[in-house]
Amino acid sequence: MSVPSAEQRKHLIEKILGAVDPRLTDSIREEFARLPPGTPPPAWRTIVIGGHRSAGKTRLLPLVSALTGRPGVDLDVELEKHSGRSLRDWVATDTDGFRRAERDLFLTLPAGGLVAVGGGFLSHHPEALRDCHTLLVPITFETYRERLLKDTRRPRLRPDVSLEEELSAIYEQREVLHARVPTVGIAAFLRAFADPENP
pLDDT of 67 > 70? The answer is yes
Going by C-alpha positions, the residue among 146, 190, 163 that lies closest to residue 17 is 190
* Contacting residues for 169 by C-beta, under 8 A, at least 6 apart: 158, 161
Percent of the chain with pLDDT over 70: 97
SS3 breakdown of the chain: % helix, strand, coil, rounded to 5? 55, 10, 40
* pTM of the predicted protein model: 0.94
Q: Where are the domains of the chain?
A: 6-191
What is the strand order of the sheet 47-51 is part of?
Answer: 72-74, 114-116, 47-51, 133-137
6-191 classified as CATH 3.40.50.300: yes
Average pLDDT over residues 176-194: 95
Separation of CA 157 from chain center? 19
What is the per-residue pLDDT across 13-45, written as a single tens digit (0 to 9) for each?
A: 999 999 999 999 999 999 999 999 889 999 999
The pLDDT of residue 196: 57
What is the per-residue pLDDT across 94-132, written as a single tens digit (0 to 9) for each?
A: 999 999 999 999 999 999 999 999 999 999 999 999 999
Q: HEC states along 105-128? A: HHHHCCCCCEEECCCCHHHHCHHH
Q: HEC states along 12-61? A: HHHHHHHHCCCCCHHHHHHHHHHCCCCCCCCCCCCEEEEECCCCCHHHHH
Higher pLDDT pick, 164 / 155 = 164
Q: How far apart are CA 28 and CA 21, in angstroms?
A: 10
